[in-house]
């Protein structure tokens, strides 16, 4: 099923997971997937390794999710893809029965040379829609702007290009300030971006995680969350519970304001995903 069809019927609730590292058997993630599927998300997306590595494992994990009776979407970073390798990826996904692709530029790996076949995610979106138009293509968006974008206005223009190329829905990067997300939605509407946009929510459960996310993504931390981290950040169980509570509060506000969907970055932690799903299930 194409995940973009879900938005006409309901507020979408989905998860993200990642495959195990290459030196760990892929089957080690299967119990986690089984637990997550019991929460009945609308779909589960599967990341690809840094720089587009681990593509086969992405397909394996996505295929297992399908076998569990849950819809899935496979991430496809393009920064190191040639047209030939992109076509091979599409072939493998098609053979595995996977219908949804999250097209991304992907992160650069130091010392590795870019392929230059796809300079931007929008190039990959257009390529997929030209070569294999039956795939549903999802795009990523950045409520606070991509870290490499010169201005937020320029980033919105790039996003419009991605949608015009064929992205039928968008999933946002994590954010912690809902007001910034609402302003982003307004800018999208003004720009004529009219596809569904899922809000990406990252439950922050330890102090090191939040520091890493802020560094990588440039996410703004509201004062009340900064205070909570300062008070509970050195107590693991308390920080976990505060992170879950903050994510639930974020989601409740987003749902009350009519967001198209919620995409939870689970970090492969079924306990956290379950706590959040149970807390918001009556709101969806």
Q: Catalogue the active-site residues.
A: 16
Helix runs in the chain, H state only: 30-37, 55-67, 83-95, 121-131, 152-165, 178-190, 207-217, 223-232, 236-256, 270-280
Contact at 8 Å (CB) between 179 and 219?
Answer: no
For residue 46, what are the contacts with CB-CB under 8 A and spacing of at least 6? 16, 17, 18, 19, 58, 61, 62, 65, 72, 73, 74, 75
- 3-state SS, residue 72: strand
Q: What is the DSSP string of 98-163?
A: --EEEEE--PPPTTPPP--S-SSHHHHHHHHHHH-TTSEEEEEE-TT--TT-S-HHHHHHHHHHHH
Contacts with 192 (C-beta within 8 Å, 6 or more apart), sequence order: 160
For residues 48 and 55, give the distance between their C-alpha atoms in angstroms, rounded to a whole number.
6
Task: Classify 15 as helix, strand or coil.
Answer: strand
CA dist., res. 86 & res. 77, Å (int): 10
Calpha distance 15→252 (Å, rounded) = 17
Q: Token digits for 39?
A: 């929460």
What is the dihedral angle through the alpha carbons of 164, 16, 276, 239, rounded to the nearest 10 degrees?
-110
């Amino acid at each position: 099923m194409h995940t973009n069809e879900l938005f006409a019927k309901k507020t979408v609730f989905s998860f993200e997971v990642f495959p195990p590292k290459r030196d760990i058997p892929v089957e080690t993630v299967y119990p986690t997937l089984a637990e997550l599927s019991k929460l009945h998300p609308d779909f589960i997306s599967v990341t690809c390794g840094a720089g587009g590595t681990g593509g086969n494992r992405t397909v394996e994990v996505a295929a297992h999710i399908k076998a569990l009776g849950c819809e899935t979407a496979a991430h496809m970073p393009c920064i190191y893809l040639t047209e030939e390798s992109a076509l091979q990826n599409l072939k493998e996904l098609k053979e595995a029965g996977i219908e949804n692709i999250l097209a991304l530029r992907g992160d650069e790996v130091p010392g590795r040379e870019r392929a230059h076949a796809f300079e931007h995610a929008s190039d990959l979106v257009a390529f997929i829609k030209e070569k294999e138009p039956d795939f549903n293509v999802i795009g990523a968006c950045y409520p606070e702007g991509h870290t490499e974008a010169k201005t937020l206005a320029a980033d919105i223009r790039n996003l419009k290009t991605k949608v015009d190329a064929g992205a039928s829905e968008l999933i946002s990067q994590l954010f912690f300030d809902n007001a910034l997300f609402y302003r982003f939605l307004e800018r999208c509407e003004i720009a004529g971006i009219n596809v569904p946009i899922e809000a990406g929510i990252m439950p922050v459960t330890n102090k090191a995680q939040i520091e890493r996310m802020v560094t990588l993504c440039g996410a703004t931390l509201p004062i009340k969350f900064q205070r909570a981290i300062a008070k509970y950040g050195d107590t693991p169980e308390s920080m976990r519970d505060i992170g879950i509570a903050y994510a639930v509060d974020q989601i409740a506000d987003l749902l009350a304001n009519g967001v198209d969907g919620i995409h939870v970055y689970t970090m492969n932690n079924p306990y956290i995903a379950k706590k959040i799903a149970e807390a918001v299930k009556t709101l969806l």
